[in-house]
Structure 1
Amino acid sequence: MHATAPRNDDSSLSGLDGLIDLARYPIEDLDSAAGQALIEECRAQLADDGCVVLKNFVPDDALDRLERETERLSPEAHYNQTETNPYNSDGDASLPATHPKNRFDDRTNGFVAGDRIDSETIIRQVYEHAGFQRFIASVVGMDEIHEYADPLAGLVINVLREGCQHPWHYDTNEFIVTMMTRQSHGGGRFEYAPGIRSPEGENFDAVERVLDGDRSPLTSLELQPGDLQIFFGRYSLHRVTPVEGDKERHTVIFAYAKEPGFIGRPERAQRIFGRMAPIHEQLLREGMTRSDNLAD
């Protein structure tokens, strides 16, 4: 099981010309002085708190097209309302009720799964573009990154209607790349606790304090349409606060992995998308392993 190879020519970013502000963000020439400066600036921000935001990454004319695209696809979103803990897992009766694994909050939001996003869309062309992937890999300090082999979770549109929220949670991979295409009238604030856990441990005590209302470790962002965010979401607890007003909040999620063949847990696919792909059903029958022992 391997991720699909990028379809675009490694030698050119011409397919992204006009879609990305290449004058401000010279990702077409990462070996240049300007390209190296951009990479170093992004790396410094990630090292500082696990998040970098590139403001106005997309020029206004392309942003209009992106907003129309996600608006067209948004009716495909699967919505569900459920109670979930930060690990998208069941509770643990052997632990106290105050333990993070037993702290459940309302999650009401929608996701357009990757198999609903066709190959002609701008967002899929960006996701699969080798030059864009090369830029992201350089920023996160990897030789290369890979598209998900998971047909549902690799490229996703998150759709939040009025009252919807995504409560405290972690991502399934080490880093995530997102692009807001539509902001709500109010709410929808992105908040996170940088590096609150690590591969060495969950740091449950600190997580419990955040769930109890401790804001001292938190960073809060008001992202705008056209902003590109690179985020270490596997180790930083994060949430999106409830959306206010009748305008939906749309965010494109470009999910990559450091190894080919990454597939999310079948149970998580069922919770988020309301269904599993055949590969999830196969893994459910055969079992699956992860390279770390963290809760999901």
Structure 2
Amino acid sequence: MKIINEEKYPWLAVRSTYSTAQNNGDSIRSFLSSNDAIEAINAANKQLMRTGAVYFPNFLTNDAIQNAVKELEQRENLAYTTDGVHTAYLRNVDHSQFSENSVYNHEMPTKVASTAFDELSSTSVLRVLYHDPRLLKLLSAIVGKTLYLSDDPLGCCSVNVFRPHYHHSFHFDESEFSVTLMLQTAEDPSSGLFQYTNPLRTHDNHDLALDATATALHLYDRKGLNGKELSENNMSFRNSGDSGSGHPSLHTLDFQPGTLLVLAGSKSLHRVTEIRGKRSRLVAVLTFASRPGFSNSAAVQTMFWGRSLRPRKDVQDQLEAPVVK
């Protein structure tokens, strides 16, 4: 079964069958050397740098989508549900360094279920795609740096399950880049929207962008603030990456089944709005990093999967896929 839609993206096709054991570097490199591939990658890189996200509609074949949804529906009731609060930075509040009204300490509610990587079947479409060297090479070309597969045994490739009334409040990711795949939308098309800002933080993960983050929440999450005034809110703040008013922009993605989204999740604030209707929204989340050995923190693992599991170098799944440079 074809997983990547090579009819839609012929420049992603490889003529010969490659072997992960051989790494087949020539084949993997050659599929990105065509004029069409270079043009698509350059355009994607510019959009990612400008807006914080770039997406590829119909990236998955219909067969792959149906196969993935069928498996996930069978496992949906087993998905761990987190129903609590978190900060935009997914970190513990810190009143010793930040005031009570600081955006750093502002907590927002989230309710989402998630199927961890180790709960997917050994033949899962998502496992195969995550370990496809073409995907890693494509993403590295788009972001302009060598990316590595995550070592997180739970979160390297997981699935967010948004049941009716579930939602995910604004936050930044711990991983530098996240790749999401829409598998099934909510029944009500005006709900379960994926929204994200232009990049607010720099490449330095210590840059919290407090002013920009507070301004974005005041602009786009007044209900969540419930009248609270954040101490860093500065409506005169100007983000050099935006136009018009100069305030952080909020984008809503037309996220249809089969769409691949590349998001600078550690830099762009993003959320999923509340789900309405009877059908669950299913989105796969594939994480990559600019350094080898990345894993989500134990706190984040516990938040989303109810348990913490540190990387094991002897786990075969992590050794199957070579790093493509």
Give the alignment's TM-score, normalised by structure 1: 0.84
Alpha-carbon distance in structure 2 between the residues aligned to 1:139 and 1:118: 29
Partner of 1:5: none
2:22 is equivalent to residue 22 of structure 1: no
Partner of 2:318: none
Is this contact kept in 2: 1:98–1:208, CA < 8 A? no
2:80 is equivalent to residue 78 of structure 1: yes
CA pair 92-223 structure 1, distance change in 2 beyond 3 A: same
2:221 is equivalent to residue 189 of structure 1: no
Superposition pairs for residues 251-262 of structure 1, below 5 Å?
251-262=283-294
CA pair 204-216 structure 1, distance change in 2 beyond 3 A: closer
Partner of 1:148: 150
Alpha-carbon distance in structure 1 between the residues aligned to 2:66 and 2:310: 35
Partner of 1:97: 100
TM-superposed deviation, 1:121: 0.7
Alpha-carbon distance in structure 1 between the residues aligned to 2:106 and 2:37: 44
SS, match of residue 219 in structure 2: coil
Query: Which residue of the other structure, out of 214, 222, 243, is the alignment partner of 2:275?
Result: 243
SS, match of residue 55 in structure 2: strand
SS, match of residue 226 in structure 1: coil
State the identity %. 26
Q: Which has the larger radius of gyration?
A: 2
Alpha-carbon distance in structure 1 between the residues aligned to 2:43 and 2:203: 25
Partner of 1:224: 256
Query: Which residue of the other structure, out of 88, 106, 110, is the alignment partner of 2:109?
Result: 106
TM-superposed deviation, 1:279: 4.5
Give the alignment's TM-score, normalised by structure 2: 0.76
SS, match of residue 56 in structure 1: coil
Query: Which residue of the other structure, out of 43, 46, 67, is the alignment partner of 1:41?
Result: 43
TM-superposed deviation, 1:247: 0.5
Partner of 2:211: 205
Any stretches of 5+ residues in structure 1 without a counterpart? 1-16, 281-296
SS, match of residue 47 in structure 2: helix
TM-superposed deviation, 1:216: 5.1
Partner of 2:17: none
**Which range is displaced more, 256-265 or 238-247?**
256-265
Task: Give the superposed CA RMSD.
Answer: 1.8
TM-superposed deviation, 1:278: 4.6
Is this contact kept in 1: 2:198–2:268, CA < 8 A? yes
Letter in 2 for 1:245: G
TM-superposed deviation, 1:39: 1.1
Letter in 2 for 1:244: R
Alpha-carbon distance in structure 2 between the residues aligned to 1:119 and 1:261: 22
Partner of 1:266: 298
Is this contact kept in 2: 1:111–1:158, CA < 8 A? yes
SS, match of residue 176 in structure 1: strand
Any stretches of 5+ residues in structure 2 without a counterpart? 14-30, 221-246, 313-325
Alpha-carbon distance in structure 1 between the residues aligned to 2:126 and 2:92: 33
Partner of 2:16: none
Alpha-carbon distance in structure 2 between the residues aligned to 1:279 and 1:138: 26
